[in-house]
DNA sequence: GTCTATAGTGAGATAGAC
DNA sequence: GTCTATCTCACTATAGAC
């Protein structure tokens, strides 16, 4: 059972900030809009967060940790790569689908080389560390599958980049993604289909004979 | 032979703006930095472009048209889907690799639902139209392959989303991408390998028996 | 913990001389 | 076609009352 409670101001700010940063990126968000939508004055934000940068990195960390939690049981499981890889990908997709802001924020964390002031280098490196740690668990599964000759000897790093693109981009793709797919991205049926298709593609790529 | 000439101010601005918008997005770029790097005063920018938004959309259009030109001969060719699809993907990758800013700008155009003032709605819609037109040519190839029973009856729209992720994300992924792959992304050898791996994955996904 | 007031900076954009 | 000067506005952040 989930405990219900009125969100604290801090929680409310983080919730609103997550949506705004996902939509517009770090530079595209003004603290005025954030304050208004949080039901607070602009200055009150600084009681909860030292700066806009600190807030942004805290939002990123929260999103990444949510994803990590989803993946943890899969990583802990003792099954072989043939079962573990689909389970990993499906868990990631579920995590991205559960919270529509996650994919966009994750995508921004992945491809935007933000240059933060040095007083929050520690937070920035923590975020990058979580990203690399998550990706490391995927690479380990692919590598294990290759070692066991269950998968073809593909480039592990390219397989990882392809997996990121296939999962994260799709759920970040917004209006254009919906124009391409011809329907909502976050509807339950669409998520189900995407899970099937991505797993099919990735397994197909990992197992197809290179001499087609 | 390419004609060499000193770039006009307009060309110089577009060139600098392309790099800056790719790095920091629309909101993250200031006209002062753009002017300085172009060797002009801030006000001079407004002689060439009506507003920052007009400039941004012109940059996007230029990048997209460059990609379109690369794809045109492939689309015109009369070969079947089994040859045309790899050729299409390789042409896209070549286009993205040729100009390191292209992938990031294209990615931004794809997933950022920018909300521009209405006086440049026409330009925004033109950009979106080019994107959809490009994607349409890929979907047509996939659909044709399915109709000819060369490809498995996968979801065409999901195949398209996966292709975008596998191509565009990789070349947009910057520092983290280089950390994942363990080397430069735009080195000739890395590009070659990426071409091979992506084509292998996509063909694998399109031809693998769904009952693995 | 929230507010008003404001500092201090830089943004995008315009006017008009040259 | 480029410049200086300037306008107006929004921004992040701080000070200090309540």
- Residue B3 has a pLDDT of 67
DSSP3 helix / strand / coil % (chain A, rounded to 5) = 75, 0, 25
Around Cβ B50, how many Cβ atoms within 10 Å? Answer: 11
- Residue A6 has a pLDDT of 82
Å separating the CA of residue B39 from the C1' of nucleotide D5: 19
| Domains of chain A (ranges, CATH numbers) | 1-49 (1.10.10.60), 61-207 (1.10.357.10)
Let me know: does B93 contact A158? Beta carbons within 8 Å: no
Distance CA B128, CA B145 (A): 26
For the stretch B75-120, pLDDT in tens is 999 999 999 999 999 999 999 999 999 999 999 999 998 889 999 9
Confidence of residue B210 (pLDDT cuts 50, 70, 90): confident
- Residue B124 has a pLDDT of 97
Mean pLDDT of chain A: 96
Q: Which residue is nearest to nucleotide C14 (CA to C1')?
A: B43
Output the CA torsion B197→B163→A109→A192 (10° steps): -120
Å separating the CA of residue B50 from the C1' of nucleotide C9: 25
For the stretch A104-114, pLDDT in tens is 999 999 999 88
- Residue B209 has a pLDDT of 85
Confidence of residue A212 (pLDDT cuts 50, 70, 90): low
Mean pLDDT of chain B: 96
For the stretch A141-185, pLDDT in tens is 999 999 999 999 999 999 999 999 999 999 999 999 999 999 999
Is B167 in contact with A165 (Cβ distance < 8 A)? yes
Distance CA B115, CA B112 (A): 9
A190 has a pLDDT exceeding 70: yes
- Residue B115 has a pLDDT of 87
Over residues B159-165, the mean pLDDT reads 98
Considering chain B, what percentage of its residues have pLDDT values greater than 70? 97
For the stretch B119-161, pLDDT in tens is 999 999 999 999 999 999 999 999 999 999 999 999 999 999 9
CA distance A166 to chain B (A): 5
- Using a CB-CB cut-off of 8 Å, the residues of chain A touching B25 are 25, 27-28, 112
Distance CA A111, CA A106 (A): 9
B48 CB-to-strand C distance under 7 Å: no
Confidence of residue B5 (pLDDT cuts 50, 70, 90): confident
Find and list the nucleotides of strand C having atoms within 7 Å of a protein beta carbon: 1-6, 10-16
A128 has a pLDDT exceeding 90: yes
Distance CA B134, CA A20 (A): 30
- Residue B204 has a pLDDT of 96
């Amino acid at each position: 059972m989930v405990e219900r409670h009125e969100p604290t101001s801090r929680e409310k700010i983080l919730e609103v900030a997550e949506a705004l940063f996902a939509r517009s990126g770090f530079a595209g968000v003004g603290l005025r809009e954030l304050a208004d939508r949080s039901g607070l004055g602009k200055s009150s934000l600084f009681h909860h967060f030292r700066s806009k940068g600190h807030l942004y990195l805290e939002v990123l960390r929260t999103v990444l940790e949510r994803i990590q939690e989803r993946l943890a049981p899969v990583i802990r499981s003792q099954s072989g790569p043939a079962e573990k890889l689909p389970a990993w990908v499906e868990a990631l997709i579920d995590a991205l689908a559960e919270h529509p802001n996650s994919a966009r924020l994750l995508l921004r964390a992945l491809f935007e080389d933000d240059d933060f002031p040095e007083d929050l280098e520690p937070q920035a490196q923590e975020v990058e560390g979580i990203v690399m740690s998550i990706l490391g668990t995927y690479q380990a599964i692919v590598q294990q599958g290759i070692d066991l000759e269950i998968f073809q000897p593909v480039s592990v790093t390219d397989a990882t980049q392809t997996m990121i693109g296939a999962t994260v981009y799709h759920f970040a793709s917004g209006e254009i993604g919906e124009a391409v797919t011809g329907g909502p991205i976050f509807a339950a049926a669409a998520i189900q289909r995407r899970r099937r298709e991505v797993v099919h593609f990735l397994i197909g790529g990992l197992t197809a004979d290179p001499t087609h």
